[in-house]
Structure 1
Amino acid sequence: MALHWKLVIDAKNAPTIADFWAAALEYEVEDPSALIEQLLAAGHVTEDQVIEHHGRKVFRGYAAIRHPDDPFDPVTGVGQGRRLLFQDVPEGQSVKNRLHIDIHSDQGELKDLVARLEILGATRIREVNKGPAGHWWIMKDPEGNEFCATI
Structure 2
Amino acid sequence: MTGMALYWKLIIDAAEPHALADFWAAALEYVVEDPGQLVAELLRNGDLPDSATVIHVGTRRFAELAAVRHPDDPFDPFSGAGRGRRILFQAVPERKTAKTTKNRLHIDVHDSERPLEDLARKLELLGATRVELVDQGPAGTWWVMRDPEGNEFCAVGA
Q: Do the structures match in fold with TM over 0.5?
A: yes
Letter in 1 for 2:150: G
Give the counterpart of 1:53 among 46, 51, 56. 56
Does residue 134 of structure 1 match 2:137?
A: no
Does residue 29 of structure 1 match 2:36?
A: no
Q: Determine the structure 2 residue equivalent to 1:123.
A: 129
Q: Determine the structure 2 residue equivalent to 1:110.
A: 116
Distance 1:4 1:83 in 2: 8
Instruction: Kindly report the root-mean-square deviation, in angstroms, between the aligned alpha carbons of the 2 structures.
Output: 1.0
Taking every aligned residue pair, what percent have the same amino acid on both sides?
Answer: 58
Letter in 2 for 1:118: E
By how many angstroms is 1:30 displaced? 0.1
1:50-85 deviation per Cα after TM superposition (whole angstroms, max 9, x unaligned): 011121111011100000000000111000000000
Q: Determine the structure 1 residue equivalent to 2:104.
A: 98
Q: Determine the structure 2 residue equivalent to 1:10.
A: 13
Distance 1:63 1:140 in 2: 19
Letter in 1 for 2:37: A
Q: Determine the structure 2 residue equivalent to 1:20.
A: 23
Distance 1:112 1:149 in 2: 10
What SS is found at the alignment partner of 1:10? Answer: strand
1:57-115 deviation per Cα after TM superposition (whole angstroms, max 9, x unaligned): 11011100000000000111000000000001011112321000000001121000000
Unaligned runs of 5+ in 2: none
What SS is found at the alignment partner of 1:98? Answer: coil
Does residue 77 of structure 1 match 2:83?
A: no
Q: Determine the structure 1 residue equivalent to 2:70.
A: 67
Question: What is the TM-score with the length of structure 1 in the denominator?
Answer: 0.97
1:112-143 deviation per Cα after TM superposition (whole angstroms, max 9, x unaligned): 00000000000000100111101100000000
Letter in 2 for 1:108: R
